[in-house]
Structure 1
Amino acid sequence: MGFLLSIIIGLSVLMPGENNMIQLAGIPFDIIKNGDSDHRYIWVHGDEQTAKMALENHMKTNEGTAFLVTGILREAEFYGGIIDPNRIFSSEGAKANIQKYNRKWSRAKKAETLEMINRDRDSFLEKILPQNGGLLIALHNNYQGYNVKTEIPLSNEISIKKDQNPRDFFICTHRADYDILTQSPFNVVLQETMPKRDDGSLSWAAMRHGVRYVNIETRLGWLSQQKKMLNYLEDHLK
């Protein structure tokens, strides 16, 4: 009986939907795994709840591995201060991010926490980035002001649809994916050139590692739109 129970427990670790956790410099991310697909998904801003709902719903019926930051705020708790989890994927970006949100910290604490991020980053990226040409899909929501036109200066190509809200759009980093997504009914921009200043965004880290990356950006609260865009991507990008 004990031997059988140990087998059952061992198998349960591999069952679809099993939750685990990983961390980047103390910032925890829940893991949802379903099947063996190399598609990876990530949600990094706790206040963008529409994106979280879209991703959790998607993982019920689609294979892949999703990483979801814990908490409900945009900035994560970070050693007695706060930090933007999507601005720490380069040393330059992390340093600026620590300074922005934690100006009263001592110089020594800023240096120490930056070293923690730098030490953990590669290990974290190794866990979340897909292998063998797989796709990393990020889900974000925006508020009034930010829209696809904001991304045009950083973009190599753009495909803007007249009947689409400019606050709903794809950002992709590989031209082949862009060419496919231009055939969709949605706005899409291609960003395949590293910027002069790396702000620490995950998209630039994915590009540095040669990983295909797509961000699905929609208005906060427009769950049906984000689901449509995620389903289109799932059906057309392999």
Structure 2
Amino acid sequence: MLVVSNLLLWEKAASIPACMVEDGGCWDPLREAFNSATQRAETLRNLSDQLYVEFFQNQFSSRQFADLSSQLIRKDETVLKAGTYCHSNRAKPKSRGVNIDIEEYLKMSINFVGSWISPLFHLVIELSAMEGVPETILSKAKDLEENNRQLLDDLRWILTKVFPTAEIKEEFPSWDYLSFLKSSNKNHKFLAIFNLSSCLDYDTKYTIHYLKILNCLITGKDC
């Protein structure tokens, strides 16, 4: 985890944009964008945690997830990779102490969040087509996809506001288990879901952390 000094982060913070006066109050659209992004990230964190637990407990998937967990403990090579390797690692913002290039860090955060666009989109499609999928699981998957898309839009908006001339080449890492998820083989399909739920549960913790760092660096608030 990136550990930074509050003082040094504050010193590196970008100039705080002038707020807009509305009804006698001060409204800062950039701060509102960060508040929105943070709220969505926290929603993603809660939903991913709930979905991860439900896959283990719900009759729809509990047996498959229990089997996969047993194979993971036995260090089965295929399951070990699915349970420990996340495609999003290729886009994870790099930790460089306080020597952070704010624009680059923001762009990497966009690609990190964007790496989940395709997996969540296809998860909803495949779950919708599978027999016996509980509404509680499907609804959480849909909410995850929607909140992730909205979070990505928030980050894109922040980039254009803070760096109006910035150009970004969005390179979302491809998900290694997409073909498994689309497979007619039930074991392959659940292996993909196992990978997705494990990695998403892990990544959402980091997303909140990255947002806190960006908020401090860009607005100088909550450092």
Into which bin does the TM-score normalised by the smaller protein fall?
A: under 0.3
Structure having greater relative contact order (Cα 8 Å, sep ≥ 6): 2
Quick check: which one's helix share is greater?
Answer: 2
Compare the two structures and name the one with the higher strand fraction: 1
TM-score, normalized by length of structure 1?
0.26
Bigger Cα Rg: 2
TM-score between the two structures when normalised by the length of structure 2: 0.27
